[in-house]
Structure 1
Amino acid sequence: MSTKSQSQGRLVLVTGGAGFIGSHLVDSLVGAGLRVRTIDNFATGRREGVNSAAEVVEADIRDASSIADAFEGVDTVFHVAAQPRIPLSIAKPVETHMTNVVGTLNVLIAARDHKVRRVVYSGSSSVYGEQATIPLVETMTPNPLNPYALQKYVSEQYARMFHRLFAMQTITLRYFGVYGPRMAQEGSYVLAIAAFLKARRESRPLEIYGDGEQTRDFTHVSDVVSANMLAMDCEIADGRAINVGRGENVSLNRIAAMIGGPIVHHEGRAGDMRDTLADRTQAEVVLGWRPRVSIEEGIAELLKQSM
C-alpha cells in the first residue's frame, strides 16, 4: 500500500503482537493507517508494549477455540508468535512444539476458516542447519540441528501446504539473527547481543560459548518489519520461503569487541549453527526489500539506550 488512505478500514492480525518483533510490527502497521488486532497470551510479551491504537485479544495460539473469533474480518495475518531460542527447545521439546507447530497449525486453520486473504509466517534461518557452502540460499535442502529449527521448518511446510490445498496466499520470511530495541534481556535463552549488553551493564565479563569465531548474519528489527510490510501485498505468495537477512555476517568476537568489556569463553553448545549468511536475492526480487541498518549502527543505538 502506498498511502494511508488506501489502508483505511483494512484489518490485519498480528499473533505475538506484544513481543519483540510483533510489537514493532504492530507500531508500523498502525503507522500505515491499518486497523490492527493482536493476539498474545502475555507469557513473555508485555501488555504495555502494545500500541494503544491496536485491539488486543488475550488468547493462546495453542488453544484453537480461544483464537478463532479474532480472525473474523481479517485481511492479512502476520504469524509472529513463537517459543524462540534453541536451548529452550532442547530442554523442553514438547512445550516448544505445542507453540511452534500446533500453534501455527491452529492459526492456519483459523485463517482458512475465516477466508483470510494472506498469511505471512515468521520463519527462521535455523532451518538450514549446517550446509556445505554459504551464503544460505532458499533452494538448499534444510538440515535442522535442533528441535526449534525442526519446528520452524515443519511450520513453514504447513504454510506451503495450505497454499497448495486451499489456495490460501502464504509466504514465509526466514529471519536471520533479529536484534534491536525491546529484544529479550532476561532469562537463560536470550540472543548473544542482548546477553553481552546485559553483562556490560552489570560489569560482568561477556560470555562466549565456543571460540567466538562463529558468525551470524544479524538483522535489525526495523528491517525485518519492513520486509513484513512488503510481504503483505507482494505479487507472489505461493507458499515459498524467503530469506530476510542483511547479507553480511560477523563473528561473536567482533560483536563482543563492539560492545566492550572483558570476555570469558565457555565450551560450545550443541545444536548451534557455525555460520549464517543470507543470500537476499529473493527478498530483493519478490519483495523489493533491502536492509538499511548496519550492525555498527544497530549496536551503537543499543549501547546508547542501555548504558
Structure 2
Amino acid sequence: MSAQVRELAADNGKPLAVVTGGAGFIGSHMVDLLVANGFRVNVVDNLVGGRLANIAHQAQSGDVGFLEADIRDLKTDCPSFAGARFVFHFAGIGDIVPSIERPLDYMASNVMGTVQVLECAKAAGVQKLVYAASSSCYGLAAVPTREDHPIGPEHPYALSKYQGEQACFHWGKVYGLPVNAIRIFNAYGTRSRTSGAYGAVFGVFLRQKLAGTPFTVIGDGSQTRDFLYVTDVARAFFAAAQTPLTGRIWNLGAGKPQSVNRLTELLGGEVTYIPKRPGEPDCTWADISSITADLGWAPTVSFEEGVQRILDNIDYWSEAPLWDPVSIAKASEIWFKFLGDK
C-alpha cells in the first residue's frame, strides 16, 4: 500500500486539506468526505492505531497523499501542509487505562503533538484548523451536557485532550490561527480501531460475536451513551471548517443516548455482566443545540442503521483482541486502583 500512495496529493488545482490521523477511524472517513467534496488530502499518520487499508480505496485517484510520521516529529515547514486550506486534527493517543499508566506519553502526543500540528498549520497559513476534542473533559457531567458545563477531567487522557484543545485556542488568540474544536461524545462505525488496550465497547463486542462468545458488559447494561455514527461525525467537522465562525467549541453526539443493553440486543447474542467501574458515567448525552444552530448540522444515520452497517462489515474486527470477563477485569485493575473511591 505504501508504494501505491504518493507522499503528497497530486497538485491538480483542487483545494487541499490535511488530516492528521487520517488512516484511523474517524480520520479515514474524513478523507472520504473531503475527496467526495472535491478536495485533495494529505494524510499524516504514524499507523499505530490506523491502517493503510482504511484509505487504500483512495490510492489510485492521486487525490490522497500519505506521510507516515508521528505528529511530535513534524517539522514546521512540513510539505504535507504547504498550501492547505483546512487542517483536521485527529491524531493522538486514545484510551483511558493506558493514560493512567503512561501519562507522559499522553501529554507528549496529545499536547505537544498538537502544538507541533498548530505550528505547521500556522506556517502554512491555513484558513481553518478543526480540533478533535473529547467530551471526557467534562468528567461526570450533568446531562444533557452543554458546552459551558464545568470542566473536570477524571484521568490523564481527558486532561491531555483538554490541554490540546486549550493550545488550539491559544494559537488562535496569540497568532491569529483560525481554529474551532468539536468535543466528540461516542463515535462508532466501520473502521473503528481493532488493536491496543481494552477500549471502545463496539470493538470488544464485535470480536466476541465473531468468536461466538458472550458479550461482556461492564455494569448492568442500563448505562447509556450518546453514540453518533462516524460519517455524521465527519460531516460535522467539514461544516466546522467551512463556517466563517472561529474560536468556537461544539459538543457532538446524536442527542439521543442508547443503552448498552440496546446495543447487545441489536448485535444479537448472549451477555455476561461484570462489576461496574468507578468513575464511569451512567449517561453521556450531548446537548447538540449549539452545533445545529450554528452549522445547520444534524445527525442522519439512526442507531439501528449504524449498527447494521457495522454488522455488514464485521469481518474487519476478525484480528482484534478477543476479550473475556477475566481479561477485562485484569485490564481494569489500574482503573480501580487510581479512580476508585474518588
| Residues 142-291 of structure 1: pairs in structure 2 closer than 5 A | 142-238=151-247, 240-291=248-299
- Counterpart secondary structure, 1:62: helix
Tell me the alpha carbon deviations over residues 163-201 of structure 1, each in whole angstroms, 9 at most, x when there is no partner: 111121100011111110111234333310221121111
8 Å contact kept, 1:184–1:190: no
Give the stretch that moved more between structures: 184-193 or 23-32: 184-193
Seq. identity, %: 37
Quote the offset at 1:269 in angstroms: 2.7
Q: Which residue number in structure 2 is paired with residue 41 of structure 1?
A: 46
Structure 1 residue corresponding to 2:131, chosen from 121, 129, 146: 121
Letter in 2 for 1:18: A
- Measured against aligned partners, the alpha-carbon deviations of 1:264-293 in whole angstroms (never above 9, x if no partner) come to 122223443331101001111221100011
Instruction: For residue 279 of structure 1, give the secondary structure of its aligned residue in structure 2.
Output: coil
Shift of 1:90: 1.9
Instruction: Report the secondary structure of 1:242's partner residue.
Output: strand
Report how many residues are paired: 299
Name the structure 1 match of 2:98: 88
Question: What SS class does the counterpart of residue 242 from structure 2 fall into?
Answer: coil
In structure 1, what is the Cα distance between the partners aligned to 2:214 and 2:101? Answer: 25
The TM-score, its normalising length taken from structure 2, stands at: 0.83
Q: Once superposed, which parts of structure 1, at least 4 consecutive aligned residues long, lie more than 4 Å away? A: none
Confirm whether residue 73 of structure 1 aligns to residue 78 of structure 2. no
Please report how far the alpha carbon of residue 232 of structure 1 lies from its aligned counterpart in structure 2 after TM superposition: 1.5
Check whether the contact 1:14–1:37 (CA below 8 A) recurs between aligned residues: yes
SS class of match (1:222): helix
CA drift of 1:44 comes to 2.0
Does the 8 A contact of 1:16 with 1:22 survive in 2? yes
SS at structure 1 position matched to 2:78:
helix
Q: Deviations over 1:246-273 (max 9, x none)?
A: 0011121221222121211222234433
**One of 26, 32, 57 as aligned partner of 1:21:** 26
- Counterpart CA distance in 1 for 2:186 and 2:133 is 11
Q: Which residue of 1 aligns with 2:8?
A: none
Q: 1:186 to 1:42 in 2, by over 3 A?
A: closer
Tell me, yes or no, if the aligned pair for 2:77 and 2:123 is still in contact at 8 Å. no
Please report the TM-score for the alignment, with normalisation by the length of structure 1: 0.92
